[in-house]
C-alpha cells in the first residue's frame, strides 16, 4: 500500500470508530419529545409569558419516564403508567425553559424540547433621510 492509501484508510477507520457508538445508541433509543407551543410571544420584555403547554412523547419501547426542566418553578414530573404519553401544564415565566425527558429507571436522557420566550418588536420609526436644514 502507498502512503496516501494508508492514511486514507486510517482516517476512515478513525471516523467510523468515533461515529459508531453514538449512531448505535441513537438507533436503540428512538425517542421524541414535542412541545406545543414552542414559542411564547409577549408584548414587552418586562412582561411574563402565561401559556398552557403540552408535552407529547414517543418512545421506541414502553417505559416510565420523567420530565425535568431548568426552571425551579417546574419540578421533576414522573409518569406512573407506560400508557401516558402527554403532560399539560400552565407556564408563567420570563425566560426560556428547557425540558428534558429521561428514563425513570436508568436516568438516561432520551429527548429534549425548549420553550422560547420572545417579546414583540416595537414598530420601527422611519427616520428622514435628509436633515431639515439641508439645502438639497
User: 43 with 83: CB under 8 angstroms?
Assistant: no
pTM: 0.66
pLDDT of residue 87: 93
pLDDT of residue 88: 94
User: 98 with 85: CB under 8 angstroms?
Assistant: no
Per domain, the residue ranges of the chain are: 31-119
Burial of 136 (0-12, 13-18, 19+ CB in 10 A): exposed
pLDDT of residue 100: 95
Pairing mode, if any, of strands 109-119 and 39-42? Answer: parallel
In CATH, which superfamily holds the domain spanning 31-119?
SoxY domain (2.60.40.2470)
Per-residue pLDDT of the chain (136 residues), as tens digits, is 444 443 433 433 434 343 333 332 333 358 899 999 999 988 887 888 899 999 999 998 889 999 999 998 888 999 998 898 999 999 999 899 999 999 998 989 999 999 999 988 766 666 666 666 666 5
pLDDT of residue 45: 79
CA distance 85 to 31: 12
Amino acid at each position: 500500500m502507498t502512503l496516501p492509501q494508508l492514511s486514507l484508510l486510517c482516517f476512515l477507520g478513525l471516523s467510523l470508530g468515533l461515529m459508531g457508538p453514538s449512531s448505535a445508541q441513537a438507533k436503540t433509543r428512538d425517542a421524541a419529545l414535542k412541545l406545543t407551543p414552542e414559542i411564547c410571544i409577549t408584548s414587552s420584555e418586562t412582561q411574563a409569558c402565561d401559556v398552557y403547554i403540552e408535552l407529547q412523547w414517543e418512545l421506541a419501547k414502553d417505559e416510565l419516564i420523567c420530565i425535568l426542566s431548568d426552571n425551579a418553578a417546574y419540578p421533576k414530573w414522573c409518569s406512573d403508567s407506560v400508557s401516558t404519553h402527554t403532560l399539560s401544564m400552565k407556564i408563567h415565566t420570563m425566560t426560556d425553559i428547557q425540558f428534558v425527558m429521561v428514563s425513570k429507571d436508568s436516568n438516561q436522557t432520551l429527548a429534549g424540547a425548549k420553550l422560547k420566550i420572545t417579546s414583540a418588536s416595537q414598530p420601527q420609526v422611519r427616520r428622514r433621510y435628509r436633515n431639515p436644514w439641508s439645502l438639497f
